[in-house]
Amino acid sequence: MIFRALLLATSLLAVPAEAASGIKVETVAEGLSFPWAMAFLPDGSALITERSGNLRVWRDGALAPTPIAGVPPAYVARQGGLFDVLPARDFEKSGHVYLSMAHGTAEANTTRVIRGRYTGSALEDIEVIFDAAPTRNTAVHYGGRMAWLPDGTLVLSLGDGYDFRYEAQDPANHLGAIVRITPDGAVPDDNPFVGEADKAPEVYSYGHRSVQGLAYDATRKTLWAHEHGPRGGDELNRIKPGKNYGWPVATFGVEYAGTQITPHTSRPDMEDPVLHWTPSIAPSGLAVYDADLFAQWKGSLLITALAHRMLVRVSFDDDGQPRQERLLADRKARLRSVTVGPDGAVYVLTDAADGAVLKLTPASESSP
């Protein structure tokens, strides 16, 4: 049985993060325009997306002054823009990098995935891998997070477009879904709805509102996702093929005006969240800590939050029940994304017009 828990505001009150958790925080890059995602390459450099449409490279501890050339323009409006960046599993051979972005016009836009070959200064040989269908006329709730599964397939989160919430209950379209495709954009033969005439074959799970955290946990063999609720009802979920995650038929959230969306917080034909947060923390990034630098964090989920301006560490006890620790809340910064580096450090992006990359390492015993 999936454990369900309500994260109360009072449970988030704590002493300053650095003092409580023995971490050192360094700013290792600044001057980024609403950075959205960060991904490390085999040589230790990292690619960083800016929602405004630029792809940047952080190399040898410094942000290169010139954006990567050749990135196709994104549809930049409200929440729309350039989203995630994901190196191919065979990057050292192919040089391929995947980008997700909003694409289209105010009247008809969608979430697109492209693939290009990274040369060190440019993205070349651009291919469109996937376009979510149908298009919509809103500039919010795109999803846009990507992750690799162990079998080499790609999963991508897609939002409900805000005005089209009930479409999330219809797996015939991609709104409010997580889709699974091959690296070339084809449909895997074992997707849950392949062969069903009234369902989109790319759909892997549905009933989502706006998933902006997606990560595969190799130890638990679990695909984790978290999503924004409306007013309350943010969720952390274990994603299973073909399952319905409830939105908007079952949710702990209410309308922004305070009125009820649905009387149901749970239904037997829908998946319950592992955790839910009320009031909303606005979770926006997710990583599984699988390194050794923070030994006590091994196996934890790291979640960045925009509204509550913190990093949440979720660990699990011997019974599989989640526990939470608040980090970085004293910095009072909107946190967009979190990545575990090859050095075991944790890298966090701040969501701002003058955004930064924060590097988290264990504090030495002599630190004040």
* The overall pTM is greater than 0.85: yes
State the catalytic residue, choosing from 141, 208, 228, 276.
Answer: 141
Measured distance CA(24)–CA(366) in Å, rounded: 12
Measured distance CA(279)–CA(48) in Å, rounded: 30
Average pLDDT over residues 49-72: 98
The yes-or-no verdict on residue 6 having pLDDT over 80 is no
Q: Is residue 141 annotated as part of the catalytic site, yes or no?
A: yes
Q: What is the pLDDT of residues 148-200, one digit of tens each?
A: 999 999 999 999 999 999 999 999 999 999 999 999 999 999 999 999 999 99
Helices and strands (H and E) in the chain: how many: 2, 25
Q: What is the pLDDT of residues 283-313, one digit of tens each?
A: 999 999 999 999 999 999 999 999 999 999 9
Measured distance CA(144)–CA(285) in Å, rounded: 11
The yes-or-no verdict on residue 8 having pLDDT over 80 is no
What local confidence, expressed as pLDDT, does residue 21 receive?
Answer: 60
* Domain 6-17+29-283, CATH class in plain words: mainly beta
